[in-house]
């Protein structure tokens, strides 16, 4: 009897497999839905946890805070913990300000000097060119009820970006994790929670005015 039940179960699963396979989206289709969702929203805010690993040095660290983003390339990262890593990074799409309160300094960069990979630049500007810029594959085959995990490999060699991995909620299509790996083996993971799309931001939210007494250092090309 047990054998008959086992055979019947296997037969049932084999019969259902074509239905599941037909319902499983391709990684390209998932990325397209993510793209449409974020493009329509135009911006978002989220709580983030950043974990970084430098394999060559065997060093790692973590930090947490809030991130705000508005297309194209307007960003505000507020690092809150741990206290020794407290800082603020703001971009208006052209310049980037990095403010470290403990040092009483503000470093000012051109955006293209901070996002040294043009693919990273395009990603933060809006992922409309993902399909043409990346080879898109499953990190592992999707499991019903589990997050989609998708690898994106640059079609053009990029020392600053060897692999980009997205972990995507299958119900909302929100990006819950973002992993970067560069040619040196350095890895960074951002875990996003409390995500809100389409948040309205004031006209000055993505600019930075240095507090009184803070030294401003402008980084020039080649410095």
pLDDT of residue 129: 58
Q: Could you give all domains of the chain from N- to C-terminal order, each with its CATH number?
A: 25-218 (2.50.20.10)
Contacts of 188 (CB under 8 A, 6+ apart): 50, 51, 52, 53, 179, 180
Residue 125 · residue 112 · CB < 8 Å:
no
Asked if pLDDT for residue 82 goes beyond 70, the answer is yes
pLDDT of residue 102: 92
| Angle in degrees, CA 186, 187, 188, rounded to 5 | 130
DSSP strand pairing (43-54 vs 74-81) = unpaired
In whole angstroms, give the CA distance from residue 129 to residue 156: 13
pTM, rounded to two decimals? 0.80
pLDDT value at residue 72:
78
pLDDT for residue 128 is more than 70: no
- Does the pLDDT of residue 3 top 80, yes or no? no
pLDDT score of 35: 84
Is the confidence at residue 136, as pLDDT, over 50? Answer: yes
Largest CA distance in the chain: 83
Give dist(CA 90, CA 209) in Å, integer: 10
pLDDT tens, residue by residue, 22-73: 467 899 999 889 888 888 888 899 999 999 887 666 678 899 999 999 887 7
Please tell me the distance from the alpha carbon of residue 166 to that of residue 191, in angstroms, as a whole number. Answer: 10
The contacts of residue 130 (CB under 8 Å, 6+ apart) are: 31, 35, 123, 136, 152
Read off the pLDDT of each residue in 194-200 and give the average, rounded to a whole number: 94
């Amino acid at each position: 009897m047990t054998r008959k039940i086992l055979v019947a179960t296997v037969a049932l699963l084999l019969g259902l497999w074509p239905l599941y396979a037909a319902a499983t989206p391709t990684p390209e289709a998932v990325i397209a839905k993510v793209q449409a969702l974020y493009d329509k929203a135009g911006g978002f805010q989220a709580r983030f946890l950043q974990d970084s690993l430098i394999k060559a040095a065997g060093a790692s660290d973590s930090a947490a805070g809030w991130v705000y983003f508005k297309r194209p390339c307007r960003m505000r990262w507020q690092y809150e913990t741990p206290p020794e890593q407290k800082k603020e990074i703001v971009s208006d799409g052209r310049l980037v300000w990095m403010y470290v309160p403990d040092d009483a300094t503000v470093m000012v960069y051109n955006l293209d000097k901070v996002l040294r990979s043009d693919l990273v630049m395009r990603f933060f500007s809006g992922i409309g060119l993902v399909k043409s810029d990346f080879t898109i594959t499953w990190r592992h085959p999707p499991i019903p009820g589990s997050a989609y995990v998708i690898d994106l490999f640059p079609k053009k060699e990029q020392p600053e970006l060897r692999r980009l991995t997205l972990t995507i909620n299958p119900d909302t299509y929100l990006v819950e994790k973002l992993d970067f790996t560069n040619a040196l083996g350095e890895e960074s993971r951002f875990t996003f929670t409390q995500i809100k799309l389409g948040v309205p931001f004031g006209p000055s939210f993505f600019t930075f005015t240095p507090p009184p007494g803070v030294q401003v250092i402008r980084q020039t090309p080649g410095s």
